[in-house]
Amino acid sequence: MDQPDRKAIAAAWLDARWSALTLRQRRDVEARQARLWRRMQPVVAATPAIAHLAGQPLNRFPIMRPRDLRARFADWNTLGLTHDQAEAAARDAEAGGEVEVAPGVVAGFSTGSSGTPGLFLNSGTERAAYLGHLLARLLPMSDLFRPLRIALCLRADNRLYQDVGRTGRIRFLFVGLGDDPTARFDRLNAFRPEILIAPPHVLADLARRTQSHDQPWSLRRLFYGAEPMGKAERAWIGSVLGTRPDPLYQATEGFIAAPCRHGTLHLNEDVLIVEREPVPGTDRFVPVVTDLRRTSQPMIRVRLGDLLQPMEGRCACGSALTAIHPVEGRLEDLWRWPGVTLPPRVVETAVSMAVAPDIDWRATASREGVLVEAEGAQIDTAAEALSRLLTAHNIDRPVTPLPQAPVHGIKRRRVRWSDA
């Protein structure tokens, strides 16, 4: 397997560091975005679906949904690849193969939080740009010049993450989400990662096992993504594992946001344009993302289904990049009755203030009422908290407790809406 382009990784790292120093005002961010958009025009011209729009302003381009891109895969890549070719290469990669779908280009699958895994392409140049940007955003400069152990928990490994372990001083461990939880804990405990990236439900499981084993961790940084995490759970996991969990926002469509030194999530607007589509009845928006560096599989005005809430004022870190609250769920997770809309964070806060932070639960609303699942004696406490929340918003619906452990699958979604 070819080694990653370390010079390109270093160049991307330097670019990200430079942008962090120089993008002090919104006009600086917008000027950089305009410059990168101009550089994207040859990529636009090479993309069959949008070639006729090359040279046009971004607002002339159609807004696409991820499923639309999947349905027209051949029209939305610059390499002339069909969906079947890329899918076969992605399946081979998940089985441990090293087949490139085109010279230097690999394919892979996302975790499929919306029900269907996304199929993505990336070249060696794109992987180097991603890794350089990621390292610049997540690690202090001092960590780049010392041996480092990084562990990552995801549904499946791929070349993008394998390249992390071949960048020099970094030792890398991949752990699958489908692995036995006990074996996963033992592998991580033996590896002793200094940096760990995992979904909240994995971190919660590690925290519970750590409490019972009383084995301290040696973590320097802890990151979570793919699922929402409330403040109470975040504080509990941080107290047990010894390091504050900070949010990441990564999707098939790009590396959307990263935390600053204060743990605040900032949109990566140095390499993305993120338009806001307001969600009626809330102060939230869904992002329409344009990645200004993707060339194999352009992502231009892709409407994601995630609920984002901007933070008031400027973050204490001083960054001009938009600060947002951690991703709280998807648009379809909104609880909505006539005249009332409750975002997932409002629901999560109501429950987490009533139950212990290590309790697993799930609340599913529908037009008829709310079903709350939890294991243990606190199920009634959770149900009472939700009843108070509904009453406070003049919602006359029953809350039904179901005393059993929730079944989440690969991704945990605590707050859900059902149209059934």
**Cα–Cα distance between 73 and 77 in angstroms, integer?**
7
Residues 346, 397, single domain; the answer is yes
Instruction: Say if residues 121 and 296 touch (Cβ distance below 8 Å).
Output: yes
- Report if residue 1 sits inside a domain: no
- Percentage of the chain beyond pLDDT 90 is 66
Which one is predicted more confidently, 133 or 407? 133
Q: Is 342 helix (H, G, I), strand (E, B) or coil?
A: strand
Name which of 297, 240, 271, 229 is nearest 81 in CA terms: 297
Phi-psi region of 339 (alpha: psi -120 to 50; beta: other; left: phi over 0): left
pLDDT class for 184, splitting at 50, 70, 90?
very high
Tens-place pLDDT, residues 144-162: 667 789 999 877 655 555 6
Give the residue ranges of DSSP H helices in 103-228: 124-138, 159-162, 181-191, 200-213
Which residue would you say has higher pLDDT here, 32 or 168? 32
156 and 235 co-located in one domain? yes
Sign of CA dihedral 295, 117, 137, 169: negative
329 assigned to some structural domain: no
Average confidence (pLDDT) over 229-240? 94
pLDDT at residue 60 in the model: 97
For residue 134, tell me if it sits in a domain: no
Q: In this structure, are 13 and 108 located in the same domain?
A: yes
**pLDDT value of position 361:** 94
Tokens 């699942």 map to which residue? 373
Q: What gap in Å lies between CA 148 and CA 127, rounded to an integer? A: 20
**Is residue 101 domain-shared with residue 115, that is, in the same domain?**
yes
Helix (H) or strand (E) holding 16: helix 6-22
| Alpha helix (H) residue ranges in 72-123 | 83-94
Domain containing 226 equals: 140-247
Q: Report the distance separating Cα 312 and Cα 303, nearest Å.
A: 23
Given a cut of 70, whether residue 356 has pLDDT beyond it is yes
DSSP 317-328: T---SPEEPPP-
Q: Identify the domain boundary among 262, 294, 324.
A: 324
> Which two three-digit tokens encode residue 29?
């961010």
Contact 327, 353 (CB under 8 A): no
Per residue in 284-317, pLDDT tens? 999 999 999 999 999 999 999 999 999 998 899 9
| pLDDT at position 115 over 90 | no
Question: Side-chain half-sphere of 260: how many Cα atoms within 13 Å?
Answer: 19
Q: What's the CATH number where 364 sits? A: 3.30.300
The torsion angles phi and psi of 283, rounded to 5 degrees, stand at -100, 20
31 and 118 together in one domain: yes
User: CA-CA distance, 363 to 20, in Å (whole number)?
Assistant: 40
317 in the same domain as 348: no
> 3-state class of 235 per DSSP?
helix
Can you say whether the dihedral through the CA atoms of 28, 34, 40, 44 is positive or negative? Answer: positive
Residue 3 or 97, more confident: 97
pLDDT computed for residue 253 by the predictor: 82
Nearest to residue 6, comparing CAs of 128, 161, 133?
Answer: 128
Residues 261 and 194 in one domain: no
89 pLDDT tier (thresholds 50, 70, 90): confident
